Amino acid sequence: MQQEVVLAMLAKEPSQGFQLRARLDRALGPLGEAMNVYVLTPAGEERIAEWLREVSWPKPDLAEFHLKLIAAAAAGLADPIGIVDMQRRELLRRLRDVQRAQMAEPDHSDAGLLLEGIVLRLQADLRWLEACERNWSDRRKRG
């Protein structure tokens, strides 16, 4: 488990282990055991703010990003749609770079094939971000 996810869940309020677990369970499905009370420290807060701004590419972690949105919304730390937008800008910038590299490659080159793989992965991630945005704006409309 990413420690930032646990920190972010704490940002809402100090929690006993079982409450934390319940929140994580709702986001991810059943997890392990815990019983202590946890409070977020200033260093923890700083780390969360930083974590919310991070973009993990080229090794994207879907579950982590998903939890980031849930944690940000639950604790009122940041607008999930803002996080999605930031992520999308970053991926589009990368797609632009990869595409330019691909356009400069001759047809059927080895590098071109690798670049195509990167383009396809970026596209898949961008589509998932679109789904995230739709979902979170629907939630906002529903209140």
| Cβ-based neighbour number of residue 121 at 10 Å | 16
Instruction: Estimate to the nearest angstrom the gap between the alpha carbon of 64 and the chain centroid.
Output: 5
* Under 8 Å between Cβ of 87 and 77: no
Task: Tell me how far, at minimum, the Cβ of 111 lies from other proteins, in Å.
Answer: 6
Site string for other proteins, 74-93 (x = CB under 8 A): -----------x---x--xx
Tokens of 141: 């409309």
| Contact positions with other proteins (CB under 8 A) in 18-57 | 57
* Under 8 Å between Cβ of 4 and 51: yes
User: Using the rule CB under 8 A, which residue among 34, 126, 128, 135 binds other proteins?
Assistant: 126
User: Using the rule CB under 8 A, which residue among 103, 135, 138, 143 binds other proteins?
Assistant: 103
User: Toward other proteins, which CB reaches closer, 96 or 139?
Assistant: 96
Residues contacting other proteins: total by CB under 8 A: 32
> Interface with other proteins includes 130 (CB under 8 A)?
yes
Task: Tell me how far, at minimum, the Cβ of 77 lies from other proteins, in Å.
Answer: 21
Three-class SS state of 77: coil
* Under 8 Å between Cβ of 122 and 95: yes
What is the dihedral sign for C-alpha 18, 23, 26, 30? Answer: negative
Residue numbers at the binding site for other proteins (CB under 8 A): 57-59, 85, 89, 92-103, 107, 111, 114-116, 118-120, 122-123, 126-127, 130, 134, 137
